[in-house]
Structure 1
Amino acid sequence: MTARIYQRPKNAMQSGKALLDQWILEFAPAEARRAEPLMGWAGSGDTQAQVTLKFASQAEAQAYADKHGIDAVVHATPPRRLKLQAYADNFR
């Protein structure tokens, strides 16, 4: 069972920074999705793909994965770059 640990990215449509300090542990899909014959919806028998665990820190998420024998890959958070400019720069 493999998983990935990452920090929640900032939503591009909102300026708020709520929930950005959470770390997420998501399991990798164990089997491919397939079309269900009656309705045509995509689905699989893998129930772990529906599980998302939230932690306060990266260390807590890594400790949980180690305790339960989960091979976890930590994705580093890219640095946030602010583009500081004045309103008058829009009219240059």
Structure 2
Amino acid sequence: MQRQKVAELGARWGQREIEESGPITFIGSGANLNEATENGLRRAAGVTGLAYEEVLNRATITGSIDISRLPGTVRVTFLCPLAILDRMGIGRLVREKYELE
């Protein structure tokens, strides 16, 4: 039912494809928050194969960059395409956990 609603909303705005995605989080660390943020984004880019700029964009729009309790540590969370999560070997786990598909 939710997929149908998403498709209807997308069609209303001319969106033909709806990306299937799930959440993923990376930890970044550094001497300060700026370094920790860059480290977390670079780790995410390296593991997923997405460009650094795309990871930054996804974290900004579909996720978050949270300051962790430890100084110089952040959590970078974003919605990642399921095809990438599958390639990483965790797609099944994400689908089960978040009841996707």
Task: Settle same-fold status: TM greater than 0.5.
Answer: no
TM-score, normalized by length of structure 1? Answer: 0.30
Quick one: higher RCO (CA 8 Å, sep 6+), 1 or 2?
Answer: 1
Choose between structure 1 and 2: higher helix proportion: 2
TM-score by length of structure 2 reads: 0.28
Look at both structures and tell me which one has the larger radius of gyration over its CA atoms. Answer: 1
